[in-house]
Chains A and B, each alone.
Chain A
Amino acid sequence: MSLSTARIVITGVGLTAPNGDSLPEFRRHLLAGVGGVSRTEVHYMGEQLAGVCRYDALKWQKKKEVRVGTRAGSISIYCAREALADSGVVWDTVAKDRVGIYIGITEHGNVETENEIYNISKFNYDTKFWSHYHNPRTVANNPAGEASLNLGVTGPAYTIGAACAAGNMGLIHAAQMLRLGEVDFALCGGVSESIHTFGIFAGFKSQNALATHPDPLKASRPFDLARNGIVISEGGCLYALERLEDAQRRGAKIYAEIAGWHVNSDASDYVLPNPTRQAECVRAALARARLAPRDIHIVNTHATATPLGDIQECEAIRAVFGEGCPDTSINNTKSFIGHCMGAAGALELAGNLPSFDDLTVHPTINVDNLDPQCALPGLVLNQPRQVAKADTILNNSFGMLGINSTLIVRRFVA
């Protein structure tokens, strides 16, 4: 088989989410209805609702690495190391110049820049107190670069800026690079440190798009009639991706096969989604995967719980999946963990992967009153659903400036 048509498989998963620091823990909580939104202190704004991760950074980093590096770098290292460990690859035998690290990010550098401005505000804004670490911390490749340093990877390691479509983009780009023969092993997905920047909170608040609720665990509620915005979260999820031949040669456990993908742009607005382009993106991914809408068993939505955005995505999904897809279940993971920004797509796919084994679809929680405009057939509300077939997952992730990404994975069959 030529490289360009090589089958690409997922052989490892490393993640940290606001409700779990490993795939088994994350999945257990998704099936048990356990969310992870809490409160955190934000510069200048006081306490805000947020998804905070609680992984042990010192499991894979020295204290000095944590001090010198960024939160996004630390999350990347944790997820990369966990994915490697999960993959079972014998790291000492891997040619490090044939490993690629491709990490999707919504943004990077805001946290570090804001922290430095806050720091020099204590010194009358005298820039001689500005950190000499500012530039290595804020370069856009920082999260991937920190992972390469920690792992000794000498192959390509960089980030992919794609707003909140970025998590899918990391996987898609890695699959492309494996098919081009640029690398033989990839660590890919997305990360986010966005809860540490007040600017993201303040920006969404000014946009009237920041969720409020007296109970943090109820705050993120896509498709609910009373939804009122986004809960910002941090997190990360990186996958080990390989060509099937290589994975089989080493007897790797295979989680799933990459079946298809598509990326397009709305070219219509800075922030408002475009359901027509979203539907085109989904259809093009289906075409690449040679699947019909009715062949998709789980659709994981991007919906962030903004009043308009959810309706528009539902419009796109309705246009593609309509009424003729009796085996298609639809869910949303942000209802548990908020919006993990650059990590969202990668984490949300991970949360659904175990469905191939347990034939259960995790629900969308916090839906007390379903918005009639979001009442899609197949929506799994509040309780997990047992299904007869779970062979395919379609994962949507969309972002500002109108970038759309759809990734489809299928159960691996030799």
Chain B
Amino acid sequence: MARNFLKILKTAPPSSVFGMVVIAIYILVAFFAPLLAPYSQTEIVDAEFMPPSAEYWLGTDNLGRDMLSRIVYGARNTVGIAFFTTILAFLVGTTLGIFTSIKGGWTDQILGRLVDTLMAIPSLIFKLLLLTVFGTTIINMVLIIALVDSTRVFRLARAVSMDIVVMEFIEAARLRGDGIWRLVTREILPNAAAPLAAEFGLRFCFVFLAISALSFLGLGIQPPLADWGSMVRDNASLIAFGEFTPLIPAIAIALLTIGVNFVVDWMLHRSSGLKD
């Protein structure tokens, strides 16, 4: 298994190797943030808007906090929360999607139309609305984004699973008397894993961008926690002075998004079975 995995990795094109390296670095940074960051994410270390120097490699922000430390902690906050939210969205979306594809009939109609309704509302506006109603805590944000994004996952999981459910091995399992849990976990999920994994990567990017966008608007991760989206907002005024600082968290966001997309492209390509 492990050897197979390595063999597959060796066939990866340069773009996806780049993507995987980027993701690996982000994960490492998020894990070891306290060790890597020279200062605390909340500590005011010097004057505001200091240019990069030997002491503060990326300068300081609008309150005089160390930019580098906040970027490092931001990986933990933004990426960590986005990852957790995506997992939540997938748990809900995939379970319901596969479940309705097996049940069909009324279950499918009711859940399907409900999802249609939720999807009809522009996602960011809907999230903003719900956050204003329920209050801007991190837990609320995670739940709301997970709920709204799970509708997209539901759609995909249901469609993929529909193709599998009509196969004869599913009929054989049903006639055997297998319960729905076994149908989902042992018969359908393994066959739906490739497209779902690819969607996980893409969905992660959307969630991550949504969190950054919400934070930029002041409704996401709240200060003083470091977050890339709000860091862009806090330092945005510097752009007018030709300063580089607000672009750093923006680049961190862009780099991860591109990296994940490279990897996902390759996975989609592999699961589609195309040779070249």
A and B associate: no
